Amino acid sequence: MLNLDFHPSGRHFLQIPGPSPVPDRILRAMSLPTIDHRGPEFGALGLTLLAKLKQVFKTEGPVIIYPASGTGAWEAALANTLSPGDRVLMFETGHFATLWHTMARRLQLDPEFIGLPGYEGWRHGVRADMIEARLREDPAHEIKAVCVVHNETSTGVTSDIAAVRRAIDAAGHPALLLVDTISGLASADYRHDEWGVDVTISGSQKGLMLPPGISFNAVSERAIEASHHNRMPKSFWAWDEILEANQNGYWPYTPSTNLLYGLNESLDMLLEEGLDQVLARHQRWAAGVRQAVAAWGLEIQCQDPAVYSPVLTGVVMPEGVDADAVRKLIYERFDLSLGTGLGKAKGKMFRIGHLGDCNDLTLIATLGGCEAGMKLAGVPLAGSGVGAALDYFAHHPLDAIR
């Protein structure tokens, strides 16, 4: 029998950029007995959830909940709005943008992947001007959708989505705007309606602080209209039956009841604290972590301060240092999980998640583990990152920065 309680003493520090640690309050909610998903209490739960979710996505429109993980919500967004052979414009910001592009090809779409040359795209945000330029070259409107990642989890870059919408409008182009904010929602500022997004994709295991397993599509009227005519074979992901059943708080097939209990608790926690406060909390943590990286004399993966992610920070290792070896040492010696470098960034950097159920001292512990581990691995450090972050947190109380 596998022993899942493998840590001899103390709590493991899970500081990857998702799944994020699940608060006990949510775990307790998830341990309630599973109820009949066709009974009256369930309908009441469903209606409550769907109403509260809109506040977090900042939309007046519907939000679809899938009993499937975030990758499924990517597929749902494409399968409901596009048809085989459709041209789609996607922007390379990192590993997850790349995976989404691969998915589009597998779904028999015709995706065009633009971006900055080489590794540069992995260190900057979406360039709205490049999107605008490309759309202007499409007078026939063959491009049916623009797909961008809001918070690129592989690099720690949070792109400006409002600018992308402005670019599409400036080009006078009717393409739908599909946005992945799987790791951004409820940690980074996000506004589905105000930014004119047509489909927003998100998941449970990041800012919502749930285990993985459910995911979301927030949808505009234009997106729903497209779903009535597109020709992609679709059933599980199809919005129509879900939207209909949701009218009464139900789903057309068995929902993930216990994760929905957790979602209900998560939404209560976020709304009780206040979304603005939640976002300020993440910005402050990110600033403290960047102080640490600066004190170490290391580079941050994101090279444009305007789009630093409040959710995670990529720490670039000096030439010749294998970031994964450093991560492994930190994991084994300090019971701390950090995010690995993915795709083009493999071995070059590691990622510190600073999202969800954390506090200042959780991050001090995390930075302590990083600092001691890098020293043991022989990474030359300019100074104490832990000390710098401590000073930052001490002199920037959350109340003061709002």
Min dist. Cβ of residue 148 to a copy of itself (A): 19
Q: Which is nearer to a copy of itself, 315 or 336 (CB)?
A: 336
Q: Which is nearer to a copy of itself, 214 or 307 (CB)?
A: 214
Min dist. Cβ of residue 42 to a copy of itself (A): 10
**What three-state secondary structure class fits 311?**
coil
Q: Which is nearer to a copy of itself, 72 or 314 (CB)?
A: 72
**CA distance linking residue 47 with residue 277, whole number of Å:** 25
Min dist. Cβ of residue 228 to a copy of itself (A): 13
Min dist. Cβ of residue 119 to a copy of itself (A): 22
Q: Which is nearer to a copy of itself, 190 or 285 (CB)?
A: 285
Q: Which is nearer to a copy of itself, 221 or 240 (CB)?
A: 240
Show the DSSP H helices in 107-254 as ranges: 128-136, 161-170, 221-227, 239-246
In DSSP terms, 201 is beta-bridged to 180, 217
Sheet of 110-114, strands arranged across: 63-66, 215-219, 199-203, 176-180, 143-149, 87-91, 110-114
Q: Which two tokens stand for residue 331?
A: 């994991």
**CA distance linking residue 103 with residue 149, whole number of Å:** 14
172 Cα distance to chain centroid: 29
- Burial environment of residue 363 by CB neighbours within 10 A (0 to 12, 13 to 18, 19 or more): buried
Min dist. Cβ of residue 283 to a copy of itself (A): 14
Min dist. Cβ of residue 50 to a copy of itself (A): 12
Min dist. Cβ of residue 115 to a copy of itself (A): 21
Q: Which is nearer to a copy of itself, 216 or 334 (CB)?
A: 334
Q: Which is nearer to a copy of itself, 244 or 273 (CB)?
A: 273
361 Cα distance to chain centroid: 23
Spatial contact of 149 and 92, defined as CB atoms under 8 Å apart = no
Reported as type and span, the H/E element at residue 157 is strand 157-158
